[in-house]
Amino acid sequence: MSIWSYANPVKFLALSIRVQPFLWTAALICLATGLIWGFFATPDDFRQGSTVKIIYLHVPAALMAINAWFMMLITSLIWLVRRHHVSALAAKAAAPVGLVMTLIALITGAIWGQPMWGTWWEWDPRLTSFLILFLFYLGYMALWEAIEDPDTAADLTSVLCLVGSVFAVLSRYAVQFWNQGLHQGTSIPVTTGARTVSDVFFVPLLICMIGFGLLFAALVLYRTGTEIRLRRIRALRARMERTL
């Protein structure tokens, strides 16, 4: 049985309903452990004081904000190539979640930046690219809302997602050129493995990241299910009107 069999909405719904309780529970456990551990059981950083603890919200949210767009890119491509409705609806369902993740990353960053950098906002490349990502999410969602025919809306938003991805990457490098950053580099480089953050902070952070990932998956499955049911209701209504 290939993964494409889940392009059938019935099968997809059945699986997602079976998986969701586990996802929600796992997300809840991870987030509760990670956040409580991070907030109450880790020592204060010797320079940053207790403000360092906002990292447990900021980094996972930023991670998921980018990955949500990446997921939308993949599902949009699947829709354009194989025309599975579930895929298009999953992209639609992920957009608001990604938008909120971006907002969390921006707001927690501002709250951290106020005592640390002495400013709420700085036109730093990373901050600026996140703001631009936020605008992309807004435009994407607005386009979904504006078009009545669902298939056309899925087509157009998919192309917007593809084109937007290219321009988001371009903007990322453009703003890097335009202003040198205040934002510190990553402390957890995956490729080199040269971590600069000590295990005391890293383990709860990792748990939080996993928790955010699970939460994102659960939210997207839940919202996709809602979209599928909405689509079904609309189809039933249309059929009823025709028979009447």
* Binding residues vs another protein (CB under 8 A): 132, 135-136, 138-139, 142-143, 146-147, 152, 155-156, 159-160, 162-164, 167, 170-171, 174-175, 177-178
Instruction: Output the smallest distance, CB 169 to another protein, in A.
Output: 9
19 vs 142 by CB, closer to another protein: 142
C-beta closer to another protein: residue 70 or 167: 167
Residues 167, 26: Cα–Cα separation, whole Å: 35
Contact 155, 91 (CB under 8 A): no
Q: Minimal distance in Å, beta carbon 119 to another protein?
A: 21
In the complex, the smallest distance separating the C-beta of residue 43 from another protein, rounded to whole angstroms, is 41
175 or 217, CB closer to another protein?
Answer: 175
CB of 189 to another protein, least distance (A): 26
Return the residue matching tokens 């609309």.
234
Distance between CA atoms of residues 206 and 35, nearest Å: 11
Distance CA 195, CA 189 (A): 6
Distance of CA 205 to CAs 49, 59, 69, 73, 79, Å? Answer: 17, 8, 22, 27, 34
Q: Which of 119, 124, 164, 123 is nearest to 141 (CA)?
A: 164
Closest CB to another protein among residues 138, 233: 138
CB of 92 to another protein, least distance (A): 16
- Rank residues 42 and 129 by Cβ distance to another protein and give the closer one: 129
